[in-house]
């Protein structure tokens, strides 16, 4: 294990003189580059990013102007060079580092803005094996990790929101604070960890390896919560990349933020109702404390709701209502007759949405579709010191007796 060098303390304020920008997602790129250039920051970039900045009329150097080497091997090698990583990793106030930088003509890089090749999006779009492999970024994560390690001197951004924070400090003080650089470094390592987790999971799936020797889970923060299952517990909600239709991707039209228990119960309700194919008819589930207190099908969505409610109208109070199809105004009106925490459905009529707007404390979530209960995947359960993994239950329910459950009485 390397011993910790006797470096001088990192400065609180670091001026921005040179920025290295290489992004796949160019949202907000030109505005950020323009703000940096206006502040006198030298811009260095690669490939399509450099072209976009130059086309906007801004001065920008190609990375090859620093390294003396062209991009090669179909762009696989362009930033993997000592000039780049020396400029990122050099501790400016350490005499030996400063001498090495001077001896080898290495200039410091004060800001890195890199977002990664769209590996997750390529997989989600059904890319073939070779295309997915080609969208595994190598130089990007290497630059991000180098910059993050040397956060005493370098600010690292992996999305435009990070750049906004840097630009705000640049406008206010002409540089970045150590506090911000530490926060950015922490986010950067989390981003590369999540990226690598996606790649590892994809490889395991491609190889049919259900239980690889090392297993990681990566998610993006969707929401922090006031508390968890109990008021003394902290809680947050994370979303997987390319999440399918469900609670994680639902649009909340109204109501206060979902709680830990709300999300847990709503997911249980929606996963349950997804077992009922809308083509076979409307179905409604009512969940309370993760347990069904009503589940029914019907000729209409209203009839399905009435039957589900009749199962246990007392327990349904303050519950979660999930529908396997479109929420109409007639059903919405009856749902709103008793207190309900959350209603979740693939879609809703405008008249139904208008009724919910009169009950601002009721959350209405629309998902745009149902999760496919037959889609293979993994589920996770935490235990103290680890977690359990199993394949999703895709078995169809069958009646184990000679008689199936009786139909709802017609009288």
User: Which residue bears the tokens 């103290």?
Assistant: 384
Among the listed residues 104, 289, 357, 360, the single catalytic one is 289
Helix axes 82-89, 95-103, angle to 10 degrees: 160
Do residues 85 and 108 make contact, with C-beta atoms less than 8 angstroms apart?
no
Per DSSP bridges, beta strands 175-177 and 13-15 are antiparallel
149 catalytic? Reply is: yes
Among the listed residues 26, 61, 81, 149, the single catalytic one is 149
Element containing residue 369 per DSSP (H, E): none
DSSP states along 295-309: EEE-SSHHHHHHHHH
d(CA 167, CA 175): 9
DSSP states along 192-218: HHHHHHHHHHHHHHHHT-SS-SS----
Strand order in the sheet with 155-157: 61-62, 42-45, 18-23, 111-115, 155-157
289 catalytic? Reply is: yes
DSSP state of 249: G
Do residues 197 and 118 make contact, with C-beta atoms less than 8 angstroms apart?
no
Q: State the Cα torsion 267-268-272-277 to the nearest 10°.
A: 0
d(CA 408, CA 199): 49
Q: Which residues carry out catalysis?
A: 149, 289
């Amino acid at each position: 294990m390397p011993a910790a060098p006797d470096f001088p303390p990192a400065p609180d304020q670091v001026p921005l003189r040179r920025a290295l920008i290489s992004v796949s997602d160019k949202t907000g790129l030109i505005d950020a580059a323009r703000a940096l250039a206006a502040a006198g920051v030298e811009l260095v970039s690669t490939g399509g990013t450099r072209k976009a900045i130059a086309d906007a009329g801004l001065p920008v150097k190609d990375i090859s102007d620093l390294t003396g080497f062209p991009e090669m091997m179909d762009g696989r090698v362009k930033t993997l060079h000592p000039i780049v990583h020396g400029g990122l990793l050099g501790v400016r106030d350490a005499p030996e580092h400063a001498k090495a930088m001077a001896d080898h003509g290495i200039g410091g890089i004060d800001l890195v803005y890199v977002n990664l090749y769209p590996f997750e999006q390529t997989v989600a779009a059904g890319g073939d094996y070779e295309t997915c492999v080609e969208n595994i970024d190598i130089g990007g994560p290497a630059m991000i990790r180098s910059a993050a390690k040397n956060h005493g001197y370098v600010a690292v951004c992996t999305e435009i929101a990070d750049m906004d924070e840097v630009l705000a400090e640049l406008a206010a003080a002409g540089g970045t604070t150590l506090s911000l650089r530490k926060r950015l470094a922490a986010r950067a390592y989390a981003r590369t960890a999540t990226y690598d987790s996606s790649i590892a999971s994809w490889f395991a799936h491609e190889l049919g390896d259900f239980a690889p020797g090392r297993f990681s889970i990566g998610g993006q923060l969707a929401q922090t919560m006031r508390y968890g299952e109990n008021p003394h517990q902290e809680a947050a909600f994370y979303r997987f990349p390319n999440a399918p239709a469900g609670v994680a991707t639902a649009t909340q039209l109204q109501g206060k933020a979902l709680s830990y228990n709300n999300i847990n119960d709503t997911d249980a309700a929606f996963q349950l109702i997804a077992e009922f194919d809308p083509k076979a008819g409307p179905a409604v589930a009512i969940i309370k404390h993760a347990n069904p207190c009503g589940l029914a099908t019907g000729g209409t969505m209203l009839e399905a709701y009435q039957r589900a409610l009749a199962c246990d109208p007392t327990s349904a109070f303050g519950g979660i209502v999930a529908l396997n199809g479109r929420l109409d105004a007639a059903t919405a009106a009856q749902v709103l007759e008793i207190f309900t925490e959350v209603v979740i459905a693939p879609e809703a009529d405008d008249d139904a949405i208008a009724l919910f707007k009169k009950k601002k404390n009721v959350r209405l979530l629309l998902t745009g579709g149902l999760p496919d209960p037959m889609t293979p995947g993994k589920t996770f359960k935490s235990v103290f010191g680890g977690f359990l993994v199993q394949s999703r239950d895709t078995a169809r329910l069958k009646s184990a007796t000679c008689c199936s459950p009786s139909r709802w009485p017609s009288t």
